[in-house]
Structure 1
């Protein structure tokens, strides 16, 4: 009986140390992740709002870089020491596999802190930094002796603490600029969308803006000029891809102007003499490069190929420009189907709606790769184009196909299974 108090007493220092570190670990991990993921403009705005010693520290890049390094180092050392303290305490208390439990517990805390930091950054980056200012101030006083001693010795500070490339830093700066500008009322919503379009333009791939294969309107190289004129009239397009044996073998692109000229010529020229050579690109080509190449070739249309050399879709110069300025509609365009939240709480989507829409409205992100639209996802999981009236379940959601044709899903209603009528408004 006398051994129990002795064992408990010997474990007390480790328990107190573990409790102290356990309380410090989550905010320390949060603060470290937020600081590392914040760009220079966002940090500058934050320190100007905070003022005091942190602002003066920011104005000295060498010392601020050392401060970030020490904060990051602490976030790595604290979990290690916490594991040792918990393991020792468990060992003294006679627990089985104490260090295994300690490592698992600490790993869980670190993972949850990382997830929380990501969510805070997505919701309000500026507010996230402001809410943890007390941690940064406390760390400043803890690290100040080392910063004062080593700071003057650092001559090339940015190389020591900032290992991100220039492009990434620039993108973060623009992101912070847009956020701050919108909050301060400097940027109107329309201007914000335009700036975002320019920022994302260079990283967007042709695959993201193309007309998919199933929606392409094409003619055959063996069609007569009169038949091709009918296709032009029905589709109301000004350019028409032409294929040989299958749509995977695009042989040329016919311009409406050239077709009309041929129809008025006697004798009529052969189709091969009036078609243009197609311009092929991979789906991974970035829009910035594509726009330059289309301009250099004086072409308006490119055929997008998949990894096997088959036709994946087509992209026009209008598609590329719309990525910056938004939808450009003319008198021949169909009125797009808007995503509508219905009175019963369900969501009516166009089959071409991006999968991100599910995350936006339901907080659900399907895990399947290779699909970009809701209609494509439903066709993929069912193995065919689901017919109108079909109901599918996936990722905790119920999909009711409202409208479909032989090639794709046109409209779908999405809800959580068992959803009752929920009055809106």
Structure 2
């Protein structure tokens, strides 16, 4: 044995036999735990059950277990450098520890490359396959986990202040983001969950039917006229007003109209309406939904700061904010989206600007408007006339119909310069 060698060759040999596979395995096990998101880890622990499930359900013990694995994955390479260096020194090799360090560095690099490949290919299956190995390592490290866990500061009790509630909302958003990114949630599921999270803070003004689009009728109308109004609109409920739309007296259901038409002596229309629920534009959707449920109502009338009617909102509008647009047969026919030819569309002025992204891959950042008409008004600074052309965002908007200072339909296509650039890119 050469000078400077402190362990007998047999011990060094056994150290290599143990440390080489242990170094690789602890690195793999630690990396999988550290780089797996909370959703994936929870799912794995539930599937594994037994001691691993109990470990995961005890956050402090689970944190200590992860720490010990991480510590071993860093400590074992150092021990390998020392063991291999002493063996080379015993064989009188030049620069023994330099060669030893180079070998271990290559081993660590290959292990890290393998870890990345596992994480990129199928980390869920890797966790499942290595479950028995995790159990074995936990069995070995359990005494240390039990010894160190009491030394870790405990989390605060369940009482929460406003800052913690805000942090909880951020955690929910993080879970959705991680779940979507890791493939645990489908993109559509992630979008729906995002909608649910945003739902409680969204204001009524962003989902309401604006005043100009409301289908209403005077409360003095005859039942036959109201029945015709229901047929024309395709709605099941209509607000009734007195004198002007700013004085809504109630909401009429088509069921009450049809029932009254069968009576020999029908009651006055005013007796058929239900008292309306008036809400401000700034009311958030989460509160509104609870209020509508408590009052067993389907419609709310939105008023502005001066008390005038700003619009109306229904339970269907609230549901659509979560699950997306819901159109019945009548609405589908009047959806206001018509393809004229390849790359050319006719849109309603009230169509949402997100349609432009869906049809032309055009993103409007931080807009001050929500509709195609709003985009045109913002670009021109005035009410357009029929036939007027607006080029913006790489698109050409041709106004086809205007009524009462309101843009009804617009022809949309790529602007000539934008179309040429697209063709050159494809070429």
Normalized against structure 1, the TM-score is what? 0.55
Change (3 A) 1:399 1:331: closer
Change (3 A) 1:350 1:196: farther
Trace 1:2-401 onto structure 2 (pairs within 5 A).
Answer: 45=37, 165-335=163-333, 336-337=335-336, 350-355=348-353, 361-365=361-365, 368=368, 371-379=369-377, 382=380, 386-392=384-390, 398-401=396-399
Change (3 A) 1:292 1:215: same
SS of the counterpart of 2:260?
helix
SS of the counterpart of 1:251?
strand
Change (3 A) 1:230 1:44: same
Q: Measure how far apart 1:302 and its partner are.
A: 0.6
Q: Measure how far apart 1:347 and its partner are.
A: 7.5
Q: Measure how far apart 1:372 and its partner are.
A: 2.2
CA distance in 2, matches of 1:348, 1:409: 10
Change (3 A) 1:323 1:172: same
How big is each residue's C-alpha offset from its partner over 1:184-237, in whole Å with a ceiling of 9 and x where there is no partner?
A: 211112321221221111111111111122211111122222111110111121
Residue 412 of structure 2 aligns with which residue? 413
Larger Rg: 2
Question: Is the Cα–Cα contact under 8 Å of residues 347 and 410 in structure 2 kept in the other structure?
Answer: yes
CA distance in 1, matches of 2:37, 2:221: 64
Change (3 A) 1:174 1:347: farther
Question: Is the Cα–Cα contact under 8 Å of residues 242 and 254 in structure 1 kept in the other structure?
Answer: yes
Normalized against structure 2, the TM-score is what? 0.55
Highest RCO, 1 vs 2 (Cα 8 Å, sep ≥ 6): 1
- Gaps in structure 1 of 5+ consecutive residues: 1-41, 49-58, 61-154
CA distance in 1, matches of 2:322, 2:173: 16
- Number of residues paired by the alignment? 283
SS of the counterpart of 1:389?
coil
- Gaps in structure 2 of 5+ consecutive residues: 1-33, 41-62, 65-152
Question: Is the Cα–Cα contact under 8 Å of residues 385 and 409 in structure 1 kept in the other structure?
Answer: no
Question: Is the Cα–Cα contact under 8 Å of residues 216 and 313 in structure 1 kept in the other structure?
Answer: yes
Which stretch has the larger CA shift, 267-276 or 411-420? 411-420
Change (3 A) 1:310 1:337: same
SS of the counterpart of 1:419?
helix
CA distance in 2, matches of 1:178, 1:339: 35
Change (3 A) 1:257 1:372: same
Q: Measure how far apart 1:342 and its partner are.
A: 8.1
Give the RMSD, CA atoms, in angstroms. Answer: 4.3
How big is each residue's C-alpha offset from its partner over 1:71-98, in whole Å with a ceiling of 9 and x where there is no partner?
A: xxxxxxxxxxxxxxxxxxxxxxxxxxxx
SS of the counterpart of 1:386?
coil
Q: Measure how far apart 1:240 and its partner are.
A: 0.8
How big is each residue's C-alpha offset from its partner over 1:278-321, in whole Å with a ceiling of 9 and x where there is no partner?
A: 11111111111111111111111011112222211111111111
